Structures are given as C-alpha cells and as structure tokens.
Structure 1
Amino acid sequence: MINIYDIFDRVLMEASRRVKQFFKKYASRLAIVVIVLVSVISPLSGSDHTKASLYDGAPLIPLTDEIVTVGPKKVEIKLTESLYQAEQKAKQEQLAARQSVILAYNVKYADPGLAVKREWAKKAASAYNIDWKILEAVWRVESGMRWKTYVTSYAGAMGPCQFMPGTWRGYAQDGNGDGIKDVSDARDCLFGAAKLLAVNGAASGNVVNALLRYNYSYAYVEKVLAIAKTL
C-alpha cells in the first residue's frame, strides 16, 4: 500500500533539490540583475540632496543628438641639428668670416698699378727734395715695388722698403695720413725711405753715400743706380 505522506515527502525533496540546482546555476546572474536594478531605482527614488551628492556639484551636461567631429591634432616636429651638423656649420661660418676679412683686406690693399705707385714715389721724393727715380729704384730692389707686405727678410728687414726695426723707429712716417706709421704700407715706408736718403746725402747730391747708409753694399748701390737710369 502506497503511503500518501511518503509520496508528498519525495515530491518536496525533489522540488528542494531542483530549487537548489537552479540557484546554484543562476545565482551569479541573479546577483548582477539585482545590483543593476538597485543602481537604477535608487537615484530615481532619492531626494534632491541625494542626487546632488552623487555629482558633487558638477554641472550636468544635457544629452543631444548632435554629432561633433574632432579633427586630428597637428603636431609640429622640430628637427634639431646633430652635434656633427652644428660643428660643420660653425666651421663654415668661421671660414666665411675669415674669407670676408681677407676679401676686405685685398680690396683695401689691392695693388693699384704702376701709375699710382709712381705718383706716391714722386710725392715722397718731393717732400724731401730727392730724385724720385732713386727712390723708386730702391723700392724696386727691396721688394719689387710691393704695395702692402708683411714679409720679413732673414735679417729682420720689414715692409716694401725693407726697414730694420731700429731704423724704422728713427725714420717712421705717416705718408697716407691715416694716423698710423705702418712699415708694411708702401705709402708710409716711401716717406720714411725718402727721409733716410735725404738726411744721409741724397738731398744735397751725395746719392752714393745715402744708398750706402741704406744698404752698405757697393753692389747694391750700382744696382739701384742702374735701375734709376732706366726710369
């Protein structure tokens, strides 16, 4: 005989077992659903004070259907020089500076030609009352009539007229009037040479003695006189 109570107990046990299986299987999903529902319902049912506390006073931005297009940001890339490039640039600038100085020097002291040189020889000779041909001949023998030179002989003579330093200090002149007695400038040294020759006899007609005081060599004297005769 089947006991009704036994059947009822079995049904309850089976139902309990199925309920446990259901919650075990879907418990995590149910928990998520509950959390979502709570988070949605709570702000709607709260007071204004609660709403304000959620946003901490930040202004609410209304939602619209407007589409905003944001373009790409322009990034400026500045290329920097490498150390090698900087060094090369500095060298080029230094070279250009030197070349400009050399160019300016060459322009200022460019050889003016024979006519201008001769005029300066005549001007210096006239200032000290000597023969310009003797003065030009000395200039030719000493340096080939150089206009501007820093060449120094093995003995230490300097400039277009080849003055020894001590001799130049005694006869230095500012022939071109620039305020500088420059032994390397023909315009100054011609006046100095004319003064030396004049003081030592050329102004009074004793050219040989004057030339010997300039360079104590009879071969030198003969060479200067021979050149002077051709001028």
Structure 2
Amino acid sequence: MASLPIGLAPPFLPAFSRSSIHSSQRTPTNRLQPHQPQEMAYIPTWLAMALAAVVGIMCAFAQSPPSGPCLGGAFPDAGNCCPTMINMINFYRDARGCYPTRVANNQVLYADVGGCFPNAQGTYRPAGATCPPGQQCSPTCLPTVVATPQPTRPACPANAQRDPAGCCPRAFGMSLFYRDVRGCYPIATNVGVLYADASGCYPNEAGVYNPAGMACPAGRQCVPACD
C-alpha cells in the first residue's frame, strides 16, 4: 500500500479524527492576562474608631448584670416596692399591692379580683363565696436594700456577682441561686431546688408546700442568711 504524505490522515478515518490530529499539532494561543489589582474600599479612621466605640458600648451593656436597688439587682415598681423572687423569677405587686403566692405544682398565682388567694391546690373560691381564712391578700411593700461594701470577703462561687446586700448566691449542683426577698436561700428537694412560700415556709422533701392557712411545721421556716 502506498504511503501517505506526512501529516495526512488515511481517508477511511472519520472526519473528527482527522481534525483532531491537526488540532493536536496546533500551538495554544491563549496568553495569561496580567492580574489587575482590585481597589480596596477606604474607610476613614474616625469612622472606624466611632464604630469600634459603639460596638464596645453595646457589648458592655449586654454583659452588665442588673444593678437595681432590690435583691438580685431588680428595680422597684412605681411605688418604690421591690418584686418578690419565686423560682428565680421576679413578681411585682398587683393593683392591690399584693404579691402572688406559690401553690401546688410550683405554680405562682395572684389573688382574684376580690383579693382572695387560691387554695394550696391552686383552686380559686367560687364566685360570691366568702374568702377562706388565711387566703385574703394583704398589701405589702418589700423595701429596697443598700449594698454594704465588703472588699475583704472572698469571691462568690463561679465569680458571680453579689446581690445589693453584699451576699453571694448559693450553689446547688451546677446552678447558682440568690436569696429571696426575706433573705432566705432555697433548699434542695426530691423535685429540685425550691424557695420558701409567701409565708416563709419551705416545702417538705417531696417538694410539697404547706397548705394555705396552716402553721409551718418545725424546722421548715426559712431563716435569713448571707453567704
């Protein structure tokens, strides 16, 4: 068979094969384009400093704990009366000046429109019924406190902040608990850490509170303390 000139493909090869042979012999013509530096946005120094100052102030406010004159750092109401802390939550007085009370299942309930608290199970009196003894709310005002500087006292657990009276929170497991409005710390029960009720009586080991109107059993009346 006669030889073909160099650079020519046999005629029986497909057209794309012949074109691919020729294209394989071509020299690439693409050239690298020089990198064009991008212009950086210019921020004036004074603007950057102002933004940094604003961010710093916002962070400081976000990290600063409450610093009110009430226990736990809360602020008083319009009558300058502090809230009561129940289950680590602050509760303010109602329109009659009465604080809520704690009932079964650790519920916190206010008195009804007639100023009558529910019973120990959380049930309110029927409409028109007389308020049972010991369930009538009495206006109360918890005063503000003044912090007493104690520079020589040791740090609180986990470096926590002292309350306005200069007392540390008490640790129960991995949680910290501050004193209530009476200056009493909570106790550990089988159902968790619980505070004394509105009369200052602790629940029993099962977490059950004393029924309303009954005398607090011996050894369960809270005693103010300051760690």
In our comparison, the structure showing a higher alpha carbon Rg is 1
Greater share of helix residues, 1 or 2? Answer: 1
Question: Could you say which TM-score interval applies, normalised by the shorter chain?
Answer: under 0.3
Task: Identify the structure with bigger relative contact order (alpha carbons < 8 Å, sequence gap 6+).
Answer: 2
Q: Provide TM-score, normalisation by structure 1.
A: 0.24
Greater share of strand residues, 1 or 2? Answer: 2
Q: Provide TM-score, normalisation by structure 2.
A: 0.24
